[in-house]
């Protein structure tokens, strides 16, 4: 593979809390490939918009912000694993529930999605890319040779999110998280632009009763024999 467009891609889609981020990062590291957290890109736009005092209705201004953001997902070195916005580590800032909800609202806007589409495709570089998101296999990298769609019960996903936030010292209410996930699932699956659905050629994995390591090994086994 000598060109960015020819670089292989493994897509890992699914709803929030299904474990796709953990799996995608681990797979990328094991393969020595680039990693794209597409959800972080929407959260980065949400954070930038909040800092600029913009709301979801100011679409033209939001598109301008989306085009101007400098986004980095360092794969190696001291900043590996961080999410950088204009050089600033905002890994924690973009993971707040408020930021996530705003990002989900922005993702329903067709013009905003279009503005970020090419930004995402630019991450497709040799030797390959592991892309984590909600429409990686259906829209952004529809030609990817290997696609996964991870899911889990909404109750399990809420428990995972609650545990994650508590470990980070962020106060959270499990019942509230459950309702927020249900609302987000409904919004993501019913939106007219790139709804949250598995690609026709995706392998669907229910992670409710699976460990992250088990899912990682499943994806790696398939990737080794496919790309």
**Residue 182 assigned to a binding site:** no
Task: Report helix, strand or coil for 181.
Answer: helix
Are the C-beta atoms of residues 61 and 69 closer than 8 Å to each other? no
Residue 15 annotated in ligand binding: yes
Q: What SS3 class is residue 4?
A: coil
- 81 carries a ligand binding annotation: no
Query: What's the CA gap between 227 and 223, in Å, rounded?
Result: 6
Q: Taking Cα atoms as reference points, which of 201, 171, 1 lies closest to residue 98? A: 171
Length of the chain: 227
Instruction: Write the Ramachandran bin of 51: left for phi over 0, alpha for psi from -120 to 50, otherwise beta.
Output: alpha
| Spatial distance between the Cα atoms of 182 and 186, rounded to a whole number of angstroms | 6
C-alpha dist (Å) from residue 15 to 39, 58, 68: 11, 26, 28
19 marked among binding-site residues? yes
87 is in an annotated binding site: no
Distance CA 71, CA 73 (A): 7
Binding-site positions read: 14-22
Binding-site positions for ATP read: 14-22
């Amino acid at each position: 593979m000598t060109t960015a467009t020819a670089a292989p891609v493994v897509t890992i889609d699914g709803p929030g809390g299904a474990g796709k981020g953990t799996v995608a990062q681990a797979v990328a590291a094991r393969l020595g490939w680039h990693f794209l957290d597409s959800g972080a890109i929407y959260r980065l736009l949400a954070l930038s918009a909040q800092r600029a005092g913009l709301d979801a209705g100011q679409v033209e201004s939001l598109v301008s912000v989306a085009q101007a953001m400098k986004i980095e997902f360092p794969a190696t070195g001291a900043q590996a694993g961080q999410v950088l916005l204009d050089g600033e580590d905002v890994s924690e800032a973009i993971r707040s529930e408020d930021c996530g909800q705003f990002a989900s609202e922005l993702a329903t806007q067709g013009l905003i999605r279009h503005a970020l589409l090419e930004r995402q495709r630019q991450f497709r570089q040799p030797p390959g890319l592991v892309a984590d998101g909600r429409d990686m296999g259906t829209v952004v990298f529809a030609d990817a040779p290997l696609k996964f769609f991870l899911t889990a019960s909404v109750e399990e996903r809420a428990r995972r999110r609650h545990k994650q936030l508590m470990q980070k010292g962020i106060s959270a209410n499990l019942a509230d998280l459950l309702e927020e996930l249900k609302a987000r699932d409904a919004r993501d699956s019913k939106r007219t632009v790139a709804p949250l659905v598995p690609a026709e050629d995706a392998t669907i994995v229910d992670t409710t009763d699976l460990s992250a390591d088990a899912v990682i090994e499943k994806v790696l086994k398939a990737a080794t024999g496919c790309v």
